[in-house]
Amino acid sequence: MYLVMGITGNVGGATARHLLKQGKQVRALVRNREKAAKWADQGVELVDGDWNDATAIAAALNGIDGAFVMLPSVWAPSPDYREAKGVIANYVEALTKVVPPRVVALSSMGANRTSGVGMITALSL
């Protein structure tokens, strides 16, 4: 079983499609079951919650073989990137409680840099 964050978006959806084609079981943390209904119809296990809830993330991580996590897009982030820092803190809290064998985090070229990266600045955090 693999947890996919952001399954209703482009990247999370592509990740889930790939895993399903490989015959893997997929679980998704979702805020809106209606929006994710097509995934449930394909056998994806839906867990209610979102990346602002460390308890929900931990519940979704329980018993999985691997997780695909990402930061939500914030088109106008606060100067201190508090939105990304909050999600990161929730991931850290959840991953401290439930440690899956594998975690893949969506990144981008340049995310290892700490300045001059514009929209991907949050990824360097």
Worst-scoring range by mean pLDDT, 28-42, 46-60, 111-125? Answer: 111-125
Where in the sequence is the domain holding 82, given as residue range(s)? 2-124
Residue 53: exposed, middle, or buried by beta-carbon count in 10 A (0-12, 13-18, 19+)?
middle
Angle at 29 (CA atoms; ends 23, 34), nearest 5 degrees: 95
pTM of the full structure:
0.87
Task: Give the total number of structural domains in the chain.
Answer: 1
Rounded to whole angstroms, how far apart are CA atoms 91 and 52?
Answer: 9
Interval 93-122: pLDDT, tens: 999 999 999 999 887 655 566 666 666 667
CATH code of the domain in which 106 resides: 3.40.50.720
